[in-house]
Amino acid sequence: MAGAGDRAFRETCAPFGVDFFCTEMISAKAVHFGDKKTRLLAETGTAEHPIAIQLFGSDPAIMAEAAAKLGKSEKADGIDLNFGCPVPKIVNNGEGSALMKDPERICEIVRSVVEASPLPVSVKIRAGWDENSENAVKVATLCEKAGACRIAVHARYRGDFYRDGTVKLPVIRAVKEAVSIPVIGNGDIRDGESALRMLEETGCDGLMIGRAAVGKPWVFAEIRAALDGAPEPTVHPKEVLREHLRLAFLYKPLTAGREMRMHMAQYLKGFRGAAGLRDQASHASTIEDYLALVDSLPQE
């Protein structure tokens, strides 16, 4: 997840049983122009495997070039192509979910990237651009033909953005019935109950979890335990938070002070009686500020 799913966050999630990781989305154009910040986004560590590097863009040749470059030079296990991002500045460039309006272009991009990439290529799509053009099945079928190894379906239209109650599980079921490659269900999975509903109602092969992990990296372990009928895992949120801070300041010493405020606000939601600390969290900037805040949190 752009702005949240960096290496520090992913490595914080890793001990909780994630089967597959994905980087934040990376602009293929920025890779083409050799942008330095972009290289940081593509950096992966040993604690987060397997991992796919996710690219977005609309030009098949530039996407292929970026996939070839990053697939070779980074410690990655796959390339993932983003056809789901709804953000205006991306969509207005004809990228992300705007491509759901142009399945032939998606097909061309997947084919070019598959040819150029040394790694397996997966895709992430939405249910469609809008309700009048729901085409996830068509797009998924084309992606499979073009050589995609796996398809994740975020079952919302572009205009739904991330709104509650807009996930369309029957779309994922229809995609699952139409293709032979693994289908990953995505949208509003936040606990055992929603995970089970996704699996039962769609028949999907795997679950993708986004927002529910922010401020709660142990959600993966909770969901797995619920699905296995095992007892809830024992978690020590303050320890998880300290580890997240350590990694964030290690990998991004210059920006962690600012970036951890968002994560901190999410973690605080999980601590009873911590509401009063939100204001303090919004002014924290050094690792010492943050650790002092963690120390002052109520006992778990």
Ligand X SMILES: Cc1cc2nc3c(=O)[nH]c(=O)nc-3n(C[C@H](O)[C@H](O)[C@H](O)COP(=O)(O)O)c2cc1C
Where does this chain bind ligand X (CB under 6 A)?
1-4, 24-25, 54, 82, 84, 124, 154, 162, 186-189, 209-212
Q: How far is the CB of 84 from ligand X (least distance, A)?
A: 6
Instruction: Tell me whether residue 191 or residue 300 sits nearer to ligand X (CB atom).
Output: 191
Instruction: Tell me whether residue 71 or residue 86 sits nearer to ligand X (CB atom).
Output: 86
What is the spatial distance between Cα 107 and Cα 29, in angstroms, rounded to a whole number? 19
Q: How far is the CB of 260 from ligand X (least distance, A)?
A: 15
One DSSP character per residue, 179-235 reads -SS-EEEESS--SHHHHHHHHHHH--SEEE--GGGTT-TTHHHHHHHHHHTPPPPP-
Residue nearest to ligand X (CB): 210
Q: Are 108 and 79 in contact, with CB atoms under 8 Å apart?
A: no
What is the spatial distance between Cα 5 and Cα 41, in angstroms, rounded to a whole number? 10
End-to-end distance of the chain based on CA atoms, in angstroms? Answer: 28
Q: Give me the sign of the Cα torsion angle 156, 107, 91, 29.
A: positive
Instruction: Tell me whether residue 82 or residue 112 sits nearer to ligand X (CB atom).
Output: 82
Could you list the active site residues? Answer: 85
> In sequence order, what are the residues at sequence separation of 6 or more whose Cβ sits closer than 8 angstroms to the Cβ of residue 285?
257, 258
Instruction: Tell me whether residue 1 or residue 235 sits nearer to ligand X (CB atom).
Output: 1
